[in-house]
């Protein structure tokens, strides 16, 4: 089916008490794998690209691939710009066909984050594109952006931020980190409930790769409506390719490498969709 925006699928998740899985894709094979999982489980799904991924390809390339593959499935599919790092990139993505964008001003102070975010929202709303923003700092590294320390989101600041910017969804910091965790993450899960009490827009959990099933499920139960997965998909793809080359070092056909990578990513996506509770929720 044609690409849809993230607005309805996240509001449906908010009402239904589940979360939409949002999966970062790096190439055609990962796009096909995520969509195959969504189709099999009848789950709404968001595919995402970061600025780093866009440097590898272009917004036009990824928009074309996702649009072509989404038309082959029966479930709602949204193409989202993850961690958009500038107003210009957000606009470029929207023009290319992205149906949802994130502007990440979390590295700025509160007022500057509001100003940057509202600038994107004003353009996006005029053409019906929802905007995700981030308040607080998620630790770890996403592309070239690295947070030195975690700064969890203040609920009342989140309320003010959402009201002043007009965003459609809000990524909040509760102790998660981008990339793989060193040790066991300690999440401030009650903070999700506290933010949900005062913020009306759907909440987003970043840095979910490596979180336990218990952590993911509890965060969703407390109010997370979108959960991002990236690093673990890259790792699954790469591990499958390495395994094939170890077992059959004579392999030279990229299609064979792609096939094992796709299979691994598809299975990981299915696991996470079930944890988020979005399986069976596609209309």
Pair of tokens at residue 14 = 């908010």
Q: Residue 148 pLDDT > 50, yes or no?
A: no
Strand order in the sheet with 145-147: 145-147, 139-142, 177-178
Q: How confident is the model at residue 149 (pLDDT cuts 50, 70, 90)?
A: very low
Range of the domain at 33: 6-234+269-276
Q: Percentage of the chain surpassing pLDDT 70?
A: 93
Give the integer Cα–Cα distance in Å for 138 and 144. Answer: 14
**CA proximity to 89, closest of 100, 81, 79, 80:** 81
Task: Note whether residue 243 is domain-resident.
Answer: no
Handedness of CA 149, 85, 232, 169 (dihedral sign): positive
Task: Note whether residue 41 is domain-resident.
Answer: yes
Task: Note whether residue 247 is domain-resident.
Answer: no
Q: Would the pTM of this model clear 0.75, i.e. be above it?
A: yes
Give the integer Cα–Cα distance in Å for 269 and 14. Answer: 21
Q: Tell me the catalytic residues.
A: 82
Task: Note whether residue 106 is domain-resident.
Answer: yes
Enumerate the known binding-site residues: 83, 104, 134, 178-179, 206-209, 228-231
CATH number at 160 reads 3.20.20.70
Task: Note whether residue 251 is domain-resident.
Answer: no
Average pLDDT, the chain: 93
Q: Residue 69 pLDDT > 70, yes or no?
A: yes
Task: Note whether residue 22 is domain-resident.
Answer: yes
Task: Note whether residue 257 is domain-resident.
Answer: no
pLDDT tens column, 10-57: 999 999 999 999 999 999 999 999 999 999 999 999 999 999 999 999
Task: Note whether residue 100 is domain-resident.
Answer: yes
pLDDT tens column, 213-241: 999 999 999 999 999 999 999 999 999 99
**Number of structural domains, the chain?**
1
């Amino acid at each position: 089916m044609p690409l849809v925006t993230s607005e309805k699928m996240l509001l449906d998740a908010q009402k239904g008490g589940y979360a939409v899985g949002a999966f970062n894709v790096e190439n055609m094979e990962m796009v096909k794998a995520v969509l195959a999982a969504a189709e099999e489980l009848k789950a709404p799904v968001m595919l995402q690209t970061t600025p780093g991924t866009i440097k590898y390809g272009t917004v036009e390339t990824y928009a074309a691939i996702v649009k072509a593959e989404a038309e082959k499935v029966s479930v709602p599919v949204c193409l989202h710009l993850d961690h958009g790092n500038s107003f210009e990139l957000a606009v470029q993505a929207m023009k290319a066909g992205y149906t949802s964008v994130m502007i990440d001003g979390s590295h700025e102070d509160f007022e500057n984050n509001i100003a940057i975010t509202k600038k994107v929202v004003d353009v996006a709303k005029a053409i019906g594109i929802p905007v995700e923003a981030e308040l607080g700092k998620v630790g770890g590294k996403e592309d070239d952006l690295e947070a030195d320390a975690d700064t969890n989101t203040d609920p009342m600041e989140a309320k003010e931020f959402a009201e002043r910017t007009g965003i459609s969804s809000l990524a909040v910091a509760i102790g998660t980190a981008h990339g793989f965790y060193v040790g066991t993450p300690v999440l401030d899960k009650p903070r999700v409930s506290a933010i949900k009490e005062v913020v009306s827009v759907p909440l987003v959990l970043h840095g979910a790769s490596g979180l336990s099933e218990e952590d993911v499920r509890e965060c969703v139960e407390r109010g997370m409506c979108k959960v991002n997965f990236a690093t673990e998909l890259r790792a699954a793809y790469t591990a499958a390719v390495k395994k094939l080359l170890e077992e059959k070092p004579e392999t030279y056909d990229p299609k064979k490498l792609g096939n094992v990578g796709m299979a691994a990513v598809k299975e990981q996506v299915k696991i996470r969709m079930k944890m988020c509770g979005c399986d069976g929720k596609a209309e």
